[in-house]
Amino acid sequence: MKVFSNTETFNYSWEEVSAANWRKYCPWNEKSTHVIAVDTISRSVDPATGILRTERLITCRQAAPEWLKSMMGGGLDESQVFETSYVDPKTKTVTMVSTNITFSNLLNVQETVVYSPLSAHQTKFYQEAQITALAGGWQRIKNSIEDTLVKRFRENAAKGKEGFESVLAMSRHVFAEEREKEKMGLIREQAGNIRMAA
Amino acid sequence: MSQSLAKECNELKERYDTCFLKWYSEKYLRGTGTEQNNECSQLFKQYSSCLQVALKERGIDKLLDEAREELKDSDSTYMSKKKS
């Protein structure tokens, strides 16, 4: 088993980050083109804790190294991940746990991501992935598979940070525009009322 | 917004996602969106019934059950502990 971990800081409030997190893989994020679909399987609010629990299916397309493809018999270009996430608005924590559902008999990748506030304007991102190759009798082959995936995680982490930054910036921009529109609507309405009263 | 793995569900997904995002930032994060049934429930039902068919067709439903079983410990780690 190999472990990959990574910590990042985003200069946005936890509320902004946790909201933008739902649209992390949208066209605003040009760096995450490997994610081609995100589907919500179930969603509920736990009445006892107020925690929002969500199950999602994430479909990725990413070219695998040729040697790995030949070992696993092709079809490795598209893979799927099942994710369960928990939003606790009281402790201001988002926790996302995910596991691969494609090739789960050959390898197991379990990832945990946590978003928590550092201050009113800063949010910490922590990511940890445990990668275990189950296939093949030879330790040398297992090690190569694990190393390849760790390398892939490292590459995606750098792209992920950059991509999410652009989603955050875009979200803030759109949110400000919407607030402005609402305000203008309200002013127009008030003006209308005044006119009517006069 | 991101796509659905089933093209035929994209429109229903888009409608639900838009509703959810609004509910999440305007109600849930402000502590007023805790009810199980909300303005997005009906939209979710429509999207979900489309998606379930697609998952079954692709045989993903069974894989999802296995993955859910694998992650079931996280429910107790991240939910029940917080009750105290």
Q: What is the mean pLDDT of residues A87-96?
A: 95
Spell out the domains of chain A, with CATH numbers in brackets. Answer: 2-197 (3.30.530.20)
**DSSP letters of A120-147?**
TTEEEEEEEEEEEE-S-S-HHHHHHHHH
List CB contacts of B12: < 8 A, sequence separation 6 or more: B43, B46, B47, B50
**What's the farthest any 2 CA atoms get from each other in chain B?**
44
Q: What are the residue ranges spanned by the domains of chain B? A: 7-74
Output the six-digit token pair for A132: 């275990």
In angstroms, rounded to a whole number, what is the distance separating the alpha carbons of residues A11 and A17?
A: 9
Query: What integer pLDDT is reported at residue A196 of this predicted model?
Result: 74
In angstroms, rounded to a whole number, what is the distance separating the alpha carbons of residues A60 and A81?
A: 8
Query: What integer pLDDT is reported at residue A75 of this predicted model?
Result: 58
Instruction: Assess: ipTM above 0.90.
Output: yes
SS3 labels along chain B: CCCCCCHHHHHHHHHHHHHHHHHHHHCHHHCCCCCCCCCCHHHHHHHHHHHHHHHHHCCHHHHHHHHHHHCHHHHHHHCHHHHC
State in Å, rounded, how far the first CA of chain B is from the last one: 37
Query: What integer pLDDT is reported at residue B81 of this predicted model?
Result: 54
- Whether residue A23 and residue B64 make contact (CB cut-off 8 A), yes or no, is no
Pick among B78, B81, B83, B84 to test the A interface (most A CBs inside 10 A):
B78
Q: Is pLDDT above 90 for A10? A: yes
Flag the least confident range among A141-145, B13-17, B59-63.
Answer: A141-145
Q: What is the sign of the dihedral through the CA atoms of A32, A38, A42 and A43?
A: positive
Touching check for B25 and chain A: CB below 8 Å?
A: yes
Q: Is pLDDT above 70 for A65? A: no
Flag the least confident range among A102-111, A169-178, B32-41.
Answer: B32-41
Output the six-digit token pair for A153: 């995680």
- The mean pLDDT value of chain A amounts to 87
Containing A116, the helix (H) or strand (E) segment is strand A107-119
- Whether residue A59 and residue B5 make contact (CB cut-off 8 A), yes or no, is yes
Touching check for B21 and chain A: CB below 8 Å?
A: yes
Beta bridge partners of A51: none
Spacing of C-alpha A85 from chain mean position? 10
Touching check for B63 and chain A: CB below 8 Å?
A: yes
